[in-house]
Chains A and B, each alone.
Chain A
Amino acid sequence: MTADIHTLTGAYAVDALDDEERRFFEQHLEACEPCAQEVAELLATAARLGAAAAEPPPAGMKAKVLAEVDRTRQEAPRPRVGGSDRAGRADVAGGPTGRPWWGGLMLPAAAVLIVLGIGVGVLVNDLYGRLGSLEQEQVRYTEIMAAPDARWVEADGPDGSLGRVVLSASRGEAMMLVDGMDRAPEDHIYELWVIDEGGATPAGLFDVDDRGRMSRVVTGDFADAAAIGVTVEPAGGSPQPTTDPVMVLELGT
């Protein structure tokens, strides 16, 4: 990735980014209004290229689609929160149109991803500036990120989902992000574990939002921890894992 992430608007609009870059760029879009606006326009332009390729669908397709529609349950409408400030988000792969409750938290999350994932001086200054103006929980993110021993770990999860953690052993804190994960099955929840030689210590419960995302601070003794794991547990959580992990972030200690 080169320095100027803003020029990726075109490649994004024609789906020419690979999955990982697409995710990074979508997180950038959360924080960059000019890019979001440009992307909205370029997606509309790309759609014109698509419309120019229109051709009559196969004859039997309508009946098949209508039959499938008849037995397909729709997603419930969601309350719209905070207006349409995300003018340019390509809300196609999933996700409600309103800003989720953790929307405010995702700003530092996006900042971390861009700073650590891309490492661009200009953006760092810009985003640190934004981070400085955020408060409370967000300050914790900043502090974890700024800790001298902060480390960055990623791992793949099921169905193309991704877990990322920024961890500071000296602070005993980690900032955990999950993206693209299915919601926990009914009557179940995801449970986080800090895993060391002594076994697995519960580190909190979570489920993802409708966009398959989650972000939170995980506290624990990471000094000798080998990994952070995620398992599916019955609602309410378990004192010890009862299933194989769906995601393991190896801390490499």
Chain B
Amino acid sequence: MPGLRRLRSVAPAASPPTDEDLLLEVARGDQPAYAELYDRVGGLVYGVVRRVVRDPAQSEEVAQEVLVEVWRTAARFDPDKGSASTWILTMAHRRAIDRVRSEQASRDRTQRVGQREHQREYDAVAEEVEVAFEHEQVRTALAALTDLQREAVELAYYKGYTYREVAELLDTPLGTIKTRMRDGLIRLRDAMGVAS
């Protein structure tokens, strides 16, 4: 029965490849593997970029750049150092931040922080709507932080503020903000059981 034989021959490969397997294949120039990886991480990349950059058209542009960069530099990925999704999301976040900062570089920083402060109320509302997208575990872990830890982490990660700007916004000493970002993340790490 040819059909059965075919079935047997594919049976050992039945367990789906991990993201890391795919990325290693991509590093060898495998375009079908890339297409599959895209299906898994395209939404992650677009989501994080959109969260930081906000404007949909610009977000799409940056997300595309990041995804092509994943293809181009896949050989740099080292599974010993972390997961494929961490590697890709770190790249996506960095690019999104770079875009936001370069857009704002020509403006007066102080003035910008002042303006942003007035927008915070609006942002907070938008935030509540977006929270619906968040994974339950992440939401629970964030909720367990102190207010200052959570604000410091969220303003930096989701809004792209530097820690200096966060200190200014929250009217809190720089050293405190640095420490809260670190101990906030450490708490999240422990709450979510993250290993590198």
A residues in contact (CB < 8 Å) with B: 2, 7-11, 13-18, 37, 40-58, 61-62, 64-66, 68-70, 72-78, 80, 84, 86-97
Q: Which residue of A lies closest to B92 (CB)?
A: A50
Q: Which residue of A lies closest to B142 (CB)?
A: A49
B residues in contact (CB < 8 Å) with A: 27-29, 31, 34-35, 38-39, 42-48, 50-51, 56, 60, 63-64, 67-68, 71-78, 80-83, 85-87, 89-94, 97, 130, 133-135, 138-139, 142, 153, 156-158, 160-164, 166, 174-175, 177-186, 188-189, 192, 194-196
B163 touches A64 (CB 8 A): no
A75 touches B46 (CB 8 A): no
Q: Which residues of the other chain, A, contact B82 by a CB distance below 8 angstroms?
A: 40, 43-44
Summarize B's interface: helix, strand, loop or mixed: helix
A56–B40 CA distance with the chains assembled, in angstroms: 11
Q: Which residue of B lies closest to A10 (CB)?
A: B182
Q: Which residue of B lies closest to A46 (CB)?
A: B157
Q: Which of A53, A56, A57 contacts B134 (CB 8 A)?
A: A53
Q: List 19 A-B contacts (CB under 8 A).
A: A10-B180, A15-B93, A15-B94, A16-B156, A18-B164, A42-B182, A44-B196, A50-B51, A53-B158, A54-B44, A54-B133, A56-B43, A57-B60, A61-B46, A65-B42, A69-B31, A74-B72, A78-B76, A84-B78
A61–B60 CA distance with the chains assembled, in angstroms: 7
Query: How far, in Å, is A14 (CB) from chain B's closest CB?
Result: 4
Q: Which residues of the other chain, B, contact A47 by a CB distance below 8 angstroms?
A: 83, 85-86, 89-90, 93
